Amino acid sequence: MEIIAKIRSLKNNVGTMKYFTNTSWLLGEKILRMAVGLFVGIWVARYLGPEQFGLFSYAQSFVALFAAIATFGLDGIVIRELVKDESQRDRLLGTAFILKLAGSILVLSLLAISILFQSNDLQTNTLIFIIASATVLQSFNVIDFYFQSQVLSKFIVFSNLFSLLLSSIIKVVLILNEAPLEFFAYVILFDSFILASGFIYFYLKKKFFLLKWRFSTETAISLLTESWPLVLSSVVVSIYMKVDQVMIQNILGNDSVGQYAAAVRLSEAWYFIPVVIASSLFPAIINAKEKSRSLYINRFQRLNDILVWGAIFIAIPVTFLGDWVINTLYGEQYNQAGSVLVIHIWASVFVFMTVSSGKFLVTENMVKKIFYRNLCGLSVNLSLNAIFIPLYGIKAAAVATLISWIVAGYLYDFLDKDINYMFRIKSKSFNVFRLCSFLIKIWKK
């Protein structure tokens, strides 16, 4: 009876149920995406083998080094402005769309220049440009910003699930017909087209019109003035999340990239959790700031607690079962990936922590701090990779990733006097006794 009473009390809280429902939609979609994506992705990896899978992963990682530029760091800022004033929807979305479109063209141009300095063969360069072309279609993701701001994630979910289902079926068909590697790159481009179409469909269904979008130079300048640190930060994050695979390919070859990428994909499969939870609760955190500083800090602390312990509960079993998981899913041909997985999975604790504090810094208008801490993490990552990959192989890259995330997501806050109070907040999240006390209080309410 007590449990039923608690459930009824939650249902009577309209605000709580709104955010809970929104988060449930997002989590449900991401869990399904993870399950289906892992199943099909593992099948693709087994079909291609470490050498071809390594080449495919290298092409995706190389594109990722530049792709963050196309976002212009607008996501959180545009959502924040839409939460504050929905009446500016057409101006904000129209301006953000043009900026993202320009960013995608810039990305393609930079890639064209960068490959001149690489020793890639024709197949590798073809894969890179097919995958990179998807950034143009991702300009329509601005519609996602609107749905997030209005806590209407079910429309995002429907679009994502349809594209996931269609692209998964196509990948299976390609495997069964023994298709060449390039076809799998075209699936990435097609997936972006389907997703953009889904966003447009649901936007029009809400009786809104893309033709009403308008570009505002004043708004563009305002957004870019605030977002440029986020652009640099996103680029830095993309580099130090993917540069290890690029460096492994240049130092050790495609087979080693394939081994490393197999482990990393399992480890990073969980990264959707903090993004979904933080994005869904972002409007609530913004609203809390308007009401009370203590409420605002308390909500951030709770968010950080949930994410940190969620990551720890994921990392512990993977640490003991890593080798078995790799052998079961990928087969003996990926026998080096298990040792990478048991190290790399612990980076998720600090990745989760970084996502939650990133939202906090955006709300505080301290986006430059995001760039500085990520640059610090990148410096550590590049240095460790350059020194230790030639000596110790792909395990060294996993250790470098873990250390860099500890520096960027946790230790940097202690060194920066403006945000060292965040270090104390994050440190509190590691207190298991405090966590138990919090859960007991929640249960007694």
The predicted pLDDT at position 401 comes to: 93
Q: Residue 242 belongs to what domain range?
A: 2-444
Minimum mean pLDDT range among 85-89, 140-144, 374-378, 395-399: 85-89
Confidence of residue 439 (pLDDT cuts 50, 70, 90): low
How many angstroms separate the CA atoms of 338 and 319, rounded? 9
Confidence of residue 64 (pLDDT cuts 50, 70, 90): confident
The predicted pLDDT at position 425 comes to: 84
Residues of the chain above pLDDT 90, percent = 35
How many angstroms separate the CA atoms of 420 and 409, rounded? 12
pLDDT tens digits along 355-412: 888 877 877 778 788 888 888 989 999 999 999 999 999 999 999 999 999 999 899 9
The predicted pLDDT at position 157 comes to: 80
The predicted pLDDT at position 179 comes to: 94
What is the chain's mean pLDDT, rounded?
84
10: Cα within 13 Å, side-chain hemisphere = 14
Confidence of residue 255 (pLDDT cuts 50, 70, 90): very high
Q: What is the pTM of this model?
A: 0.75
Cα 399–chain centre separation:
20
Residue 26: pLDDT above 70?
no
User: Residue 366: what are its φ and ψ, rounded to 5°?
Assistant: -120, 45
If you ran DSSP here, which 8-state letter would residue 151 be given? T
430: its two tokens: 């590691």
48-70 mean pLDDT: 89
| 297: CB partners within 8 A, 6+ apart | 425
DSSP, collapsed to helix, strand or coil, labels residue 206 as coil
Confidence of residue 86 (pLDDT cuts 50, 70, 90): confident
CB 65 within 8 A of CB 304: no
The predicted pLDDT at position 2 comes to: 45
The predicted pLDDT at position 190 comes to: 93
Please count the residues of the chain. 445
Sole residue written with tokens 């700031």? 289
Percent helix / strand / coil, the chain, rounded to 5: 90, 0, 10
pLDDT tens digits along 150-173: 767 777 788 888 888 899 999 999
CB 264 within 8 A of CB 400: no
CB 363 within 8 A of CB 80: yes
Domain count along the chain: 1
The predicted pLDDT at position 35 comes to: 79
Minimum mean pLDDT range among 73-87, 193-207, 377-391: 73-87
How many angstroms separate the CA atoms of 303 and 363, rounded? 14
The predicted pLDDT at position 58 comes to: 92
The predicted pLDDT at position 7 comes to: 43
CB 56 within 8 A of CB 178: no
136: its two tokens: 């143009």
The predicted pLDDT at position 10 comes to: 44
pLDDT tens digits along 267-320: 988 887 887 787 777 777 777 777 777 887 887 888 888 888 889 999 999 999
Confidence of residue 3 (pLDDT cuts 50, 70, 90): very low
pLDDT tens digits along 99-126: 999 989 999 999 999 888 887 888 899 9
pLDDT tens digits along 202-233: 889 888 888 889 998 988 888 888 777 777 77
User: Of 95, 413, 68, 442, nearest to 233 (Cα)?
Assistant: 68
Residue 146: pLDDT above 70?
yes
Other C-beta atoms lying within 10 Å of the C-beta of residue 213: 18
How many angstroms separate the CA atoms of 352 and 410, rounded? 11
Minimum mean pLDDT range among 44-53, 174-183, 218-227: 218-227
Sole residue written with tokens 């996931």? 164
Mapping DSSP onto H, E and C, the string for the chain reads CHHHHHHHHHHHCHHHHHHHHHHHHHHHHHHHHHHHHHHHHHHHHHHHHHHHHHHHHHHHHHHHHHHHHHHCCCHHHHHHHHHHCHHHHHHHHHHHHHHHHHHHHHHHHHHHHHHHHCCCCHHHHHHHHHHHCHHHHHHHHHHHHHHHHCCCHHHHHHHHHHHHHHHHHHHHHHHHCCCCHHHHHHHHHHHHHHHHHHHHHHHHHCCCCHHHCCCCHHHHHHHHHHHHHHHHHHHHHHHHHHHHHHHHHHHCCHHHHHHHHHHHHHHHHHHHHHHHHHHHHHHHHHHHHHHCHHHHHHHHHHHHHHHHHHHHHHHHHHHHHHHHHHHHHCCHHHCCHHHHHHHHCCHHHHHHHHHHHHHHHHHCCCHHHHHHHHHHHHHHHHHHHHHHHHHHCHHHHHHHHHHHHHHHHHHHHHHCCCCHHHHHHHHHHCCHHHHHHHHHHHHHC
Residues of the chain above pLDDT 70, percent = 90
Residue 443: pLDDT above 60?
no
The predicted pLDDT at position 163 comes to: 87
CB 351 within 8 A of CB 408: no
Residue 14: pLDDT above 60?
no
